[in-house]
């Protein structure tokens, strides 16, 4: 049907128009992974870039190594801090490189430059509580082989990376049966509570002291050095040479004790990453403090910003889903065979794990922006709001299409026959009889999609989309339940408000006779 094809084709235009952002375009984007040290270093890069006179933003807690590095390759970000061991063992694992000289040559062919080390080594280590290790007489990683009953839980990235659990298990000959993946920040309280016995740690992490943990001696020298270095796009030197000159001031400027104290300022003393970074840059380089970065944000400011971002994700995706889902349901109901195919397709989309769908959408959107650079001015990229909105749109289709299909099928045949008998054309029958009769069911599907979107949109923070997921992720990382509730509470409240709003909307849209029939 021509009208349906027009709606489907116009959807990308709708999304692009609604994603337009005001204000000056971002010239430089730094990023960080989902742990405190990375966020602090990302703040340093951002503030140094601003000191060079450009507009700079920081994509906080963007995800794991592959997500951030792929964003760097695609141009969605310009720079971030990684570690030499990660570069050799994980990012370039399939390139056969053995040292950073070779790695730098390979990265250069990929359009990526690497700085000299920043001055500290943050390697992996296995850790236990001091009490547990002492009671079992464990001081070395090799000692763990004598205790296969121990419960091991490693960060999800460590479970799969080349220098992580698979190679560690092989080199040390572990036979532990109870090994699982866990979020890195949740591993610390899990160790303290006794839920797990062993996990992977970062040697510069301040929480090692907070939770009274002991680092086991890597006696077979499995883990390489993880010297912190800056990875940045080669074209950044052409677009913003002053930025490159500014960020490279960090080379050799941060020793291990300094990094541990910076992590402690945030994780133990309640300082923000931006302020910790600004204090260091002021002391080390006499850099004027970045007023934007160090401005104290109140809980109200955090909630208001998260609410704006969350509403944007939900409203844009839901509107697009309604404009496509309802016509798609109408198209499906015209022929039973076609209807089953349509419902099957949207049902399959619904079964894709939400985080997997977000990651799967990043590369196509990055490629789209690469093919059409002007899309960047509309906010289209592989990270941020665009992939989150597209994912939310796809998840919204099933309840809307299914309820539209079901609602129209539930219209009594007698009413259709009566409408046809009095001479109503197909479009008039649909508008005056079938849609009003199905309106309650269709509206219920839209309401379901809206509530699903509100909850799912919190995951958008993992790819830089913001929303209520941002304070939740930060709260988990800092073990701050206040921050967690700062995101979870308003999300639950928004879901309740949405339910009430749809009840009011039903009174305005659904014919009074149908509402009376339901209440009776």
pLDDT in tens, 397-454: 999 999 998 888 887 777 776 766 676 776 777 777 777 888 888 999 999 999 999 9
Task: Give 249: exposed, middle or buried? Use CB within 10 Å, 0-12, 13-18, 19+.
Answer: middle
Q: How far apart are the first and last CA of the chain?
A: 39
Beta pairing partners, 59: 31
Cα distance between residue 351 and residue 123, in whole Å: 38
Start-end of H helices in 110-240: 130-136, 165-172, 184-193, 207-210, 236-239
Predicted local distance difference test score (pLDDT) of residue 12: 45
Give me the residues of the chain with pLDDT under 70, please. 1-26, 291-297, 378, 417, 419-421, 423, 426, 511-520
Cα distance between residue 228 and residue 15, in whole Å: 39
Return the closest-CA partner of residue 122 out of 47, 206, 213, 216.
206
Cα distance between residue 261 and residue 242, in whole Å: 29
Q: Where are the beta strands (DSSP E) in 13-146?
A: 28-31, 56-59, 79-83, 112-114, 124-129
Cβ-Cβ contacts under 8 Å for 190 (sequence gap 6 or more)? 153, 182, 196, 199
Predicted local distance difference test score (pLDDT) of residue 25: 46
Predicted local distance difference test score (pLDDT) of residue 289: 79
Predicted local distance difference test score (pLDDT) of residue 10: 45
Task: Give 517: exposed, middle or buried? Use CB within 10 Å, 0-12, 13-18, 19+.
Answer: exposed
Q: Which domains does the chain have, with CATH numbers?
A: 26-121+226-294 (3.40.190.10), 124-215 (3.40.190.120), 299-519 (1.10.3720.10)
Return the closest-CA partner of residue 48 out of 240, 227, 302, 228.
240
Token output for 62:
């963007």
């Amino acid at each position: 049907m021509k009208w349906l094809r027009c709606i489907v084709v116009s959807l990308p235009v709708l999304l692009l128009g609604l994603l337009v952002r005001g204000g000056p375009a971002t010239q430089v984007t730094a990023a960080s992974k989902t742990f405190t040290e990375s966020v602090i270093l990302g703040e340093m890069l951002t503030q140094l870039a601003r000191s060079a006179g450009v507009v700079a933003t920081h994509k906080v807690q963007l995800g794991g190594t592959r997500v951030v590095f792929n964003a760097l390759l695609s141009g969605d970000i310009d720079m971030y801090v990684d570690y030499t061991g990660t570069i050799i063992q994980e990012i370039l694992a399939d390139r056969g490189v053995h040292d950073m000289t070779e790695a730098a040559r390979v990265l250069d062919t990929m359009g990526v430059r690497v700085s000299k080390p920043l001055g500290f080594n943050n390697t992996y280590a296995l850790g236990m509580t001091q009490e547990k290790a002492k009671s079992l007489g464990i001081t070395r990683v090799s000692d763990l082989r004598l205790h296969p009953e121990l419960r091991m839980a490693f960060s999800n990235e460590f479970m799969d990376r080349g220098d992580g659990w698979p190679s560690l298990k092989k080199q040390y000959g572990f036979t532990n049966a109870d090994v699982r993946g866990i979020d890195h920040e949740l591993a610390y309280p899990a160790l303290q509570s006794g839920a797990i016995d062993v996990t992977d740690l970062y040697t510069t992490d301040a929480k090692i002291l907070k939770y009274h943990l002991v680092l086991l001696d890597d006696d077979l020298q499995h883990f390489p050095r993880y010297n912190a270095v800056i990875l940045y796009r080669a074209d950044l030197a052409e677009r913003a040479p002053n930025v490159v000159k500014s960020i490279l001031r960090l080379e050799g400027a941060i020793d291990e004790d300094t990094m541990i104290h910076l992590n402690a300022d945030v994780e133990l003393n309640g300082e923000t990453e931006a302020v910790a970074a600004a204090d260091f840059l002021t002391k080390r380089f006499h850099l004027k403090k970045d007023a934007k970065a160090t401005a104290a944000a109140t809980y109200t400011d955090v909630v208001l910003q998260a609410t704006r971002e969350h509403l944007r994700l939900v409203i844009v995706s839901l509107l697009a889903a309604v404009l496509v889902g309802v016509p798609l349901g109408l198209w499906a109901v015209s022929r039973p065979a076609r209807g089953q195919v349509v419902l099957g397709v949207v049902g399959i989309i619904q079964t894709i794990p939400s985080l997997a769908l977000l990651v799967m959408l990043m590369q196509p959107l990055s490629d789209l922006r690469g093919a059409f650079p002007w899309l960047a001015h509309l906010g289209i990229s592989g990270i941020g709001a665009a992939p989150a909105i597209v994912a939310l749109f796809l998840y919204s289709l099933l309840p809307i299409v299914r309820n539209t299909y079901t609602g129209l099928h539930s219209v009594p045949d007698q009413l259709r026959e009566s409408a046809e008998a009095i001479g109503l054309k197909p479009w008039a029958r649909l508008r005056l009889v079938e849609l009003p009769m199905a309106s309650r069911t269709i509206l219920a599907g839209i309401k379901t999609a809206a509530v699903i979107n509100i909850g799912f949109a919190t995951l958008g923070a993992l790819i830089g989309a913001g929303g209520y997921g941002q304070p939740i992720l930060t709260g988990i990382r800092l073990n701050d339940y206040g921050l967690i509730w700062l995101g979870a509470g308003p999300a639950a409240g928004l879901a309740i408000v949405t339910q009430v709003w749809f009840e009011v909307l039903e009174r305005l849209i659904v014919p009074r006779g149908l509402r009376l029939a339901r209440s009776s």
